[in-house]
Structure 1
Amino acid sequence: MAERRHVRVCHPDDVASLLPEALAGEFVLAPVADDAALGAVRPDEPVTEPDAALIVTTSGSTGRPKGVVLSASAIRAAAASFRTRYGAFTWTLALPAQYVAGVMVVARGLLDLQWGGQGVRQIGRHLTGLEQVGAEPGSGRNAISIVPTQLVRALADTTLTAALARFDAVLVGGAAMSPEVLDRARDAGIVVLTSYGMSETCGGCVFDGVPLPGVDVTLGERGRIALGGPMVFSGYRGDPETTSSTLVGGSVVTNDRGEWREDGHGPRRLAVLGRFDDVVISGGVNVDLAAVQRAVDTVGRDAAVVDAEDAEWGARIVLATTDAAVDLDWWRQTLRTTLQPAALPRQVIVFDELPRTASGKLDRRALRTLVARWGGGRAVRASGQEVVGG
């Protein structure tokens, strides 16, 4: 008969104090910040997955949040694999601890204690308190995990930039990051480690394109990425059907497309090209939204690419941005040298800010909903005012 454990729901701020007991098998910890996550956790139902220690929810940026069951052995293996490559650290938490990236900062901090780390220090999600941490780093080596949005904001502030540069490792993941931002960060002396992973792999398991020790990365048909190893999840909470279609042969079959790249100066590196559902048909032509986003990122302006239904084109390529300084014609002319005509944006919408999840990711689902409200005008403000020159 399967082991049945009870769920201990907690506030994200309590993860650091409760995670040791969860790893010891006392209960299955479920950090929850809202009702939507509570529904995915199913706190009144026993947990039957062996060695279960934690339930984290996905951010829901592209669909309904799911409860991801992680075992104690998977969490320990993920932390040990990172430590094997990079060593032990004193960790700084700047991410919400109801999601896997924040939880793994806490887990690494706790599990690094016996290897010379000094635990976990917490600062605000807007990097409040980073100056103090940077000025008084913990003994030994120090690491912090952030998302690209936080890095961009830090680079706009010389004090925060200098504080990040004092860390021995700055993990950046959770969303794609433009090469321009990465170059700016490294030129400022920030030791950035780009991270690829997901809730189902205990967070980042590929850093700077290189899988951690024990992590198996395979590319299937059309480059579909599968991630295997001791860090993979046990299953989705109350959803055996989705579990069986995602966890295949011990590997997490993702919805991401990738390819291996070699430069002759080191190990081959995984390049994540985008999601399979990023490919839309506009005017009868396949358009890869991820490729469009990469082209937009090289311009260095705050803008996100989404698609919208269009009676004429089938799918309309839309640029959502916070930058009203340039118009649609400027964007199309700038991008014309790198993108095919069907991939050029047909609309620009200016927002005061782009919607994001609590974990800092761009909320594409919410953004598509907002974009759909404004119809097919060439360029509009989110307030409904037409942008001059649009």
Structure 2
Amino acid sequence: MTTGHVNIEPALTALAAALHGEGPAVELSAAADGQPAVRLVEAPGFEDAAVVVRTSGSTGTPKATVLTVEALAASSVGTALALKGEGQWLLALPVEYVAGVQVLVRSLFAGTRPWAMDLSAGFTPEAFTAGALELTDKVRFTSLVPTQLQRLLDSPSADTLAALRRFNGILLGGAPASPELLAAARDAGVRVVTTYGAAETCGGCVYDGVPLDGVVVKLAEDGRILLGGDTLAAGYLDAPGPASEAFFVQDGVRWYRSNDLGSLNAEGNLTVLGRADDVIITGGVKVSAAQVQAELEKFDGVLAAFVAGVPSAEWGQAVAAYVAVAEPGEGSGAAPRGISRAGLAADWRRALGVLAPKTVATAAELMMLPNGKPDRLAMIAQLHALHQGK
């Protein structure tokens, strides 16, 4: 069976030239018809620049990140070692983001032929299943975000589950994966590897808490995760000022300062605890947005939640929540009939006290960026407008 896919030959040709030092750096984006658009980028001042990729923009203006041949090669080698082999990849993510372009880069280093899904009409279990069946190598990989994996596991089709089980490894990143999702994948016999990283580290550089070969991790005094080593980006194009502060050199090692908090165990394995800016000070009380989110998602009928602080004349900041709510009969934790925003807020006030959101927006799903990350800025703007500064 064949499926809709995109012609990635021009993208692969341009990337191959850049990786061999025979052409300028490449920036990929998706055209209206879903085909990858190739832009050749001159990167003066950056030696061996191969790829320019934009940061997700989930917390501000996207920055053009310069990835070198050496960093991409180190990332590909580290990934192959972590996955115990090279193989054929299914591209199921937008090529304009680092996780998507890395599928093509890893394929070029491995000498394998990737298959690219047509995402112009969105991601569906049916299209993924059909794309997976096009892979011919015995060793198969793909990269997904948690929302995609959840849709695949929720699909009633036995063919979709069989397709997931065919992959030797599924890299899962872009956003935190809940313990329930990871448990469901394990129970289904799906081999998932959680990844942590950023565009500034050639994408995921910590797999299942373990840094890739050539990657070093440590914590700053404020608990922020610092990433260094062979996969680090060269810097940003045309980004003077504060953007340059993301990179620094200490004791001869160049580091990238993330905006995430973490912890390291005795073996050096990393646990990501949440964003450094997710603390909401409301009425003089410090509240963790991640903690409130986790509590909200325990309630029946709540599929997912996003929590943030919004300006408040009374509280300084008020806890606000954008919540994806199940329709009656939908999912394992279906919402009761007649569920309302007011009803949810009342339940949370009784159960959570000061942690309860003072403003709640409900929808069928969270607002998402094309790369599968929550669109934090859009949801915060909506919550701000709803709260009206009270």
Q: Which TM-score tier does this pair reach, normalised by the shorter chain?
A: 0.7 to 0.9
Give the SS at the match of 1:158: coil
CA RMSD, 1 decimal = 2.6
Q: CA deviation at 1:92?
A: 0.6
Residue in structure 1 matching 2:147, options 149, 156, 159: 149
Q: CA deviation at 1:298?
A: 4.7
Question: Would the aligned equivalents of 1:42 and 1:237 in 2 still touch at CA under 8 Å?
Answer: no
Question: Would the aligned equivalents of 2:28 and 2:39 in 1 still touch at CA under 8 Å?
Answer: no
Distance in 2 of aligned mates of 1:206 and 1:56: 19
Q: CA deviation at 1:294?
A: 3.1
In structure 1, the residue matched to 2:262 is 258
In structure 2, the residue matched to 1:78 is 75
Q: CA deviation at 1:281?
A: 0.5
Give the SS at the match of 1:301: strand
Q: CA 1:123 to 1:48, structure 2 compared with 1: closer, same or farther past 3 Å?
A: same
In structure 1, the residue matched to 2:49 is 52
**Letter matched to residue 322 of structure 1:** A
Q: CA 1:310 to 1:242, structure 2 compared with 1: closer, same or farther past 3 Å?
A: closer
Q: How does 1:218-237 map to 2 (within 5 A)?
A: 218-237=218-237
Q: How does 1:265-344 map to 2 (within 5 A)?
A: 267-299=267-299, 301-323=303-325, 325=335, 326=339, 327-333=344-350, 336=352, 341-344=353-356
**Matching of residue 181 in structure 1 with residue 175 in structure 2:** no
Question: Would the aligned equivalents of 1:347 and 1:376 in 2 still touch at CA under 8 Å?
Answer: no
Q: CA deviation at 1:33?
A: 4.5
In structure 1, the residue matched to 2:116 is 122
**Letter matched to residue 272 of structure 1:** V
**Letter matched to residue 96 of structure 1:** P
Question: Would the aligned equivalents of 1:322 and 1:350 in 2 still touch at CA under 8 Å?
Answer: yes
Residue in structure 2 matching 1:63, options 60, 69, 89: 60
In structure 1, the residue matched to 2:34 is none
Residue in structure 2 matching 1:360, options 327, 352, 372: 372
**Matching of residue 209 in structure 1 with residue 209 in structure 2:** yes
Q: CA 1:228 to 1:297, structure 2 compared with 1: closer, same or farther past 3 Å?
A: farther
Task: Provide structure 1 residue ranges, at least 5 long, that are not aligned to the other structure.
Answer: 1-10, 35-40, 379-390
Give the SS at the match of 2:272: strand
Distance in 1 of aligned mates of 2:221 and 2:305: 31
Distance in 2 of aligned mates of 1:44 and 1:183: 43
Question: Would the aligned equivalents of 2:359 and 2:387 in 1 still touch at CA under 8 Å?
Answer: no
Question: Would the aligned equivalents of 2:43 and 2:237 in 1 still touch at CA under 8 Å?
Answer: no
Q: CA deviation at 1:12?
A: 8.2
TM-score normalised by structure 2 residue count: 0.83
Q: Which runs of 4+ in 1 moved over 6 A?
A: 41-45
Distance in 2 of aligned mates of 1:330 and 1:48: 57
Amino-acid identity (%): 39
Q: CA 1:268 to 1:331, structure 2 compared with 1: closer, same or farther past 3 Å?
A: farther
Task: Provide structure 2 residue ranges, at least 5 long, that are not aligned to the other structure.
Answer: 1-6, 32-37, 327-334
Q: CA 1:279 to 1:14, structure 2 compared with 1: closer, same or farther past 3 Å?
A: farther
Distance in 2 of aligned mates of 1:46 and 1:234: 11
Distance in 1 of aligned mates of 2:9 and 2:58: 22
In structure 1, the residue matched to 2:35 is none
Give the SS at the match of 1:374: helix
Q: CA deviation at 1:372?
A: 1.6
Q: CA deviation at 1:349?
A: 1.1
Distance in 2 of aligned mates of 1:27 and 1:43: 6
Q: How many residues align?
A: 350
Residue in structure 2 matching 1:15, options 11, 16, 19: 11
Distance in 2 of aligned mates of 1:167 and 1:158: 19
Q: CA 1:198 to 1:298, structure 2 compared with 1: closer, same or farther past 3 Å?
A: farther
Question: Would the aligned equivalents of 1:178 and 1:294 in 2 still touch at CA under 8 Å?
Answer: no
Deviations 1:317-356 (A, max 9, x none): 122123163522233445x3xxxx4322223211243221
Residue in structure 2 matching 1:108, options 106, 109, 113: 106
Give the SS at the match of 2:174: coil
Q: CA deviation at 1:268?
A: 4.5
Q: CA deviation at 1:227?
A: 0.4
Give the SS at the match of 1:47: coil
**Letter matched to residue 165 of structure 1:** R
Q: CA 1:307 to 1:124, structure 2 compared with 1: closer, same or farther past 3 Å?
A: farther
Q: CA deviation at 1:140?
A: 2.3
Bigger drift between 273-282 and 285-294 goes to 285-294
**Matching of residue 94 in structure 1 with residue 98 in structure 2:** no
Distance in 2 of aligned mates of 1:231 and 1:372: 38
Distance in 2 of aligned mates of 1:136 and 1:102: 18
**Letter matched to residue 113 of structure 2:** G
**Letter matched to residue 66 of structure 2:** V
Distance in 1 of aligned mates of 2:263 and 2:222: 9
**Letter matched to residue 296 of structure 1:** L
